[in-house]
Structure 1
Amino acid sequence: MIVNERQTPEGLLVSVCDEDVLGETFESEGVSLTVTEEFYGGETVGDETVVDSLARATVANIVGTQAVELAIEAGFVDEANVLEVGSTLHAQLLWM
């Protein structure tokens, strides 16, 4: 998976995606999701590093079946809140 971390005035923004979805566009029922290098590009890492990044995130955007399933398994995302966009999964995380 690919992780990108950015410090913002509101906290740590983490973007995570499966390697095979980077650069792809997914569409479903009027929703279009483009997984850009600019936003999602970063370091290729293992599951443990993804979980660590999500644990420190204030906000996270997660795209791809593997990445979203890991976020669910680790308890960061409720499966009921996951969106299916085309042939992939998308979830967002916001700690308040």
Structure 2
Amino acid sequence: MYLKIYKNGEHVLVAACDKEVLGKTLKRGNTAVEISRAFYEGEYVSEEELQKALEGATTANLFGEKTIKCAIKCRLIDPDSVIIIDNVPHAQSFRV
């Protein structure tokens, strides 16, 4: 999985996606979502490394089966909040 962390003061955004979806453009109706290399391609990490990053995230933007499974496993994402865009699972998380 690819992981990129953005920090702004106390705010920590975790962007993560599966290797298989990096660089793809997904379509749903009239909307297209690009899983851009510029935004998501940081370090290639293990599940444990992603879990550690997600624990410190105030916001997370996640794409792909492995990435979403990891976020569900560490209880950041509720399985019912996952949407499917062009056969790819997607979820976002915000801690307030």
TM-score range, shorter chain: over 0.9
Structure 1 residue 55, shift from structure 2 partner: 0.3
* Structure 2 residues without counterparts, runs of 5 or longer: none
Q: TM-score, normalised by structure 1?
A: 0.94
For residue 75 of structure 2, give the secondary structure of its aligned residue in structure 1. Answer: coil
Structure 1 residue 29, shift from structure 2 partner: 2.7
**53-62 or 29-38, which deviates more:** 29-38
Question: C-alpha root-mean-square deviation of aligned residues, in Å?
Answer: 1.1
**Percent pairwise identity:** 30
Separation in structure 1 between the aligned mates of residue 77 and residue 31 of structure 2, nearest angstrom? 20
Any conservation in 2 of the 1:32–1:85 contact (CA below 8 Å)? no
Written as runs of structure 1 = structure 2, the 5 A alignment for 1:1-96 is 1-9=1-9, 11-96=11-96
* Structure 1 residues without counterparts, runs of 5 or longer: none
Structure 1 residue 10, shift from structure 2 partner: 5.5
**21-30 or 75-84, which deviates more:** 21-30
Whichever residue aligns with residue 40 of structure 2, its letter is: Y
Q: TM-score, normalised by structure 2?
A: 0.94
The count of corresponding residues between Structure 1 and Structure 2 is 96
